[in-house]
Amino acid sequence: DSGVTQTPKHLITATGQRVTLRCSPRSGDLSVYWYQQSLDQGLQFLIQYYNGEERAKGNILERFSAQQFPDLHSELNLSSLELGDSALYFCASSVETGTGEKLFFGSGTQLSVL
- Minimal distance, residue 25 CB to another protein, in Å: 14
Binding site for another protein (CB under 8 A): 2, 33, 35, 40-45, 48, 55-56, 58, 90, 97, 99-108
Q: Residue 6 or residue 19: which is nearer to another protein going by CB? A: 6
- Minimal distance, residue 15 CB to another protein, in Å: 26
Q: Residue 60's CB: how many other CB atoms inside 10 A? A: 16
- Give long-range contacts, CB 8 A cutoff, 24+ apart: 48-54: 49/74
Q: Residue 110's CB: how many other CB atoms inside 10 A? A: 15
Q: Residue 61 or residue 79: which is nearer to another protein going by CB? A: 61
65 class by beta-carbon count within 10 Å (0-12 exposed, 13-18 middle, 19+ buried): middle
- Minimal distance, residue 13 CB to another protein, in Å: 22
